Amino acid sequence: MRLETPRRLAALVLLGMLLVSPAGAAVSNPPLALRAGKPESPYHALALELVAGLSQQGSNAPMIAVEESQGSVQNVIDAVQEPAAHLFTAPPNVISDARRGNKPYGKNPHYGDVRALFPMPFQTMHWVARKDGDIKSFADLAGHPFAPGPRGSFAERQTATVLKLLGLEDRAQLVDIDGGATGPALAGNQIAGFATSGSYPIPGLTALAGTAPIRLLPLTREQAKQERANDGTTVAAIIPKGTYPGVDEDTLTVALPAGIYTTRKLSDADAYRITKAFWTNLATLGQNAPAWRAVTPAMLSVLGAKLHPGALKYYREAHIVVPATLR
């Protein structure tokens, strides 16, 4: 059971989107590219889900094709260097780093041309333990085997941060096992818990909760505040009760925000059409891809870049409150 492997849409669905318009007419113009990481990445899977939702008949969005990329850093670099307008996925901290001229970006005033369209599901931390075991809080991890997540992953980094903040970095018994083995290891009582991240509900975790009783370890408000101050890239997040079988309380945790971005090269008309199509089709998108149910207009505040004028036009028409920093 691989908990961090993203969901994938059928290749035929994507092929159909590339060849046929929402109304069924032949496409005369090449589709707009959406750069979204490697095929195995969470962002790529979410991008495929998004494009499937935007291709609904009557959405009036331009045709969009998901393209593989080398990741968020390269997405931002390419966005300001390539002449053609396109969309890309990224967390807000990457945009901020580029604008400050941090490595590997260097000084380039065109990073100021990056514009946001709308948020996408956040990569949310899940700290998982058996509900019928001894682990009820982070303090209980001392002396128990716990899998912090694959080396170098967002989950491992956040676990290290939290354990250090709580003074548990030398007391928790961290074990290095393959991410696909964590579910069976917990079900078999070989480990007391594990960390994973993703847009909830994570399918593998839902499946695990159906075979073994699980609990999600919550952060306190103060712990979440300390973690965010220490990390600088995360936001507080709530995993609602009922997201997973047997988890009957809201869980306070942290998450890495993300959004769909472009630059001022994209026309106002296309930015408007894409943004309107997204919000008007979000309910249907959430029915087909549950992770998108967590996206709300309130998440605009963490995008970290001004909205594209075409997107801002839609938000004003829809009477969606936009923070002054994004206008």
Contact indicator for 117, 274 with CB cutoff of 8 Å = yes
Q: State mean pLDDT over 271-289.
A: 95
- Residue 294 binned pLDDT confidence (cut-offs 50, 70, 90): very high
What are the residue ranges spanned by the domains of the chain? 11-122+257-326, 123-256
Per-chain mean pLDDT for the chain: 89
| pLDDT value for 311 | 97
| pLDDT value for 1 | 44
pLDDT above 60: residue 9:
no
- Residue 282 binned pLDDT confidence (cut-offs 50, 70, 90): very high
| pLDDT value for 212 | 93
Q: What is the 3-state secondary structure (H, E, C) of the chain?
A: CCCCCCCCCCHHHHHHHHHECCCCCECCCCCEEEECCCCCCHHHHHHHHHHHHHCCCCCCCCCEEEECCCCHHHHHHHHHHCCCCCEEEECHHHHHHHHHCCCCCCCCHHHHHEEEEEECCCEEEEEEEECCCCCCCHHHHECCEEECCCCCCHHHHHHHHHHHHCCCCCCEEECCCCHHHHHHHHHCCCCCEEEEEECCCCHHHHHHHCCCCEEECCCCHHHHHHHHHHHCCCEEEEECCCCCCCCCCCEEEEEECCEEEEECCCCHHHHHHHHHHHHHCHHHHHHHCHHHHHCCHHHHHHCCCCECHHHHHHHHHCCCCCCHHHC
Q: State mean pLDDT over 98-122.
A: 94
Q: State mean pLDDT over 181-207.
A: 94
| pLDDT value for 2 | 44
- CATH homologous superfamily of domain 11-122+257-326? Periplasmic binding protein-like II (3.40.190.10)
Q: State mean pLDDT over 241-254.
A: 96
Q: Which CATH class, in words, describes the domain spanning 123-256? A: alpha beta
pLDDT above 80: residue 266:
yes
Out of 11-20, 156-165, 214-223, least confident range: 11-20
| pLDDT value for 29 | 73
| pLDDT value for 13 | 39
| pLDDT value for 74 | 95
123-256: same fold as 11-122+257-326?
Answer: yes
- Residue 21 binned pLDDT confidence (cut-offs 50, 70, 90): very low
pLDDT above 80: residue 16:
no
